[in-house]
A and B are shown apart, each in its own frame.
Chain A
Amino acid sequence: RKEVEQDPGPFNVPEGATVAFNCTYSNSASQSFFWYRQDCRKEPKLLMSVYSSGNEDGRFTAQLNRASQYISLLIRDSKLSDSATYLCVVTFNDYKLSFGAGTTVTVRA
């Protein structure tokens, strides 16, 4: 079983729509959680950390459900520039990160 699993998508949404997706993790002892964004043929970049109480960063909202071992990302008012692959990342509070394979989001005009 993979440590981090994501629905690969793609999620095809019109501009202005809301899109949400989850990832599940297998290690219940995981302590820290993040979402990274990766544009086509580019390097991943940190989008946001995920806190236990949930957190927002502009149009992006991240949630953590420890009981069910999943994290979610919601994007409101989607922009064309949000088209990317979103990588779910977990760690057991050390510097080594475990990455999911990513969820692809395509926003169409």
Chain B
Amino acid sequence: NAGVTQTPKFQVLKTGQSMTLQCAQDMNHNSMYWYRQDPGMGLRLIYYSASEGTTDKGEVPNGYNVSRLNKREFSLRLESAAPSQTSVYFCASSESIGGYTFGSGTRLTVV
């Protein structure tokens, strides 16, 4: 019963470096999401994928790209990391409205 698995759990990047956050779910959900969470702010949607083969921008997509590799996997890429992208990133999946299952998060620091 893994649910949603995110890797890595922690990462430190230098400004300008790139990296990909990986997310996989084993619940056969159609929809997957990437959120970021910053102190004092709610989770903000970066990108989402309503179904395999589709992706759409959320509230804060600038500086990020995504790939829905297959039904299970949805990755988030930072092409050129900036200190403003220091955050906690959560991947989630769902099959029903409101019923999200989240991964355990990736704590990213950009120095």
A residues sitting closer than 8 Å to B (CB atoms) are 2, 4, 8, 32, 34, 36, 41-46, 49, 87, 89, 91, 93-102
Select one of B44, B48, B90 contacting A44, CB under 8 A: B90
Chain A nearest Cβ from B31, distance in angstroms = 5
Report chain A residues within 8 Å CB of B105.
41-43
> What separation, in Å, do the CA atoms of A97 and B58 have in the docked complex?
10
> What separation, in Å, do the CA atoms of A94 and B96 have in the docked complex?
9
Q: Is B42 an interface residue (CB 8 A)?
A: yes
Chain B nearest Cβ from A35, distance in angstroms = 10
Report chain A residues within 8 Å CB of B44.
99
Select one of A43, A46, A102 contacting B98, CB under 8 A: A46
Q: Decide: B90 and A97 in contact? CB cutoff 8 A.
A: no
Report chain A residues within 8 Å CB of B43.
44, 87, 97, 99
Known: A89-B98, A91-B97, A99-B35. 9 other contacts (CB 8 A): A8-B40, A32-B98, A43-B90, A44-B43, A87-B43, A95-B48, A96-B48, A97-B100, A99-B44
Chain A nearest Cβ from B45, distance in angstroms = 6
Q: Decide: A32 and B97 in contact? CB cutoff 8 A.
A: yes
Sorted nearest first, the 9 A-B pairs with minimum C-beta distance are: A99-B42, A43-B102, A99-B43, A101-B42, A34-B98, A95-B31, A100-B42, A43-B104, A32-B97
B residues sitting closer than 8 Å to A (CB atoms) are 31, 33, 35, 40-45, 48, 50, 58, 90, 94, 97-100, 102-105
Report chain B residues within 8 Å CB of A87.
42-43
Chain B nearest Cβ from A16, distance in angstroms = 30
Report chain A residues within 8 Å CB of B45.
96-97
Select one of B35, B40, B97, B104 contacting A95, CB under 8 A: B97
Q: Decide: A44 and B102 in contact? CB cutoff 8 A.
A: yes
> What separation, in Å, do the CA atoms of A79 and B98 have in the docked complex?
26
A43-B104, A43-B105, A44-B90 as given contacts; A4 in contact with B99, CB under 8 Å? no
Q: Decide: B97 and A102 in contact? CB cutoff 8 A.
A: no
Task: Report 29 cross-chain contacts, Cβ distance below 8 Å, ordered by A residue.
Answer: A4-B42, A8-B40, A41-B105, A43-B90, A43-B103, A43-B104, A44-B90, A44-B100, A44-B102, A45-B102, A46-B98, A46-B99, A46-B100, A49-B98, A89-B98, A94-B97, A95-B31, A95-B50, A95-B94, A96-B33, A96-B58, A97-B98, A97-B100, A99-B35, A99-B43, A99-B44, A101-B41, A101-B42, A102-B42
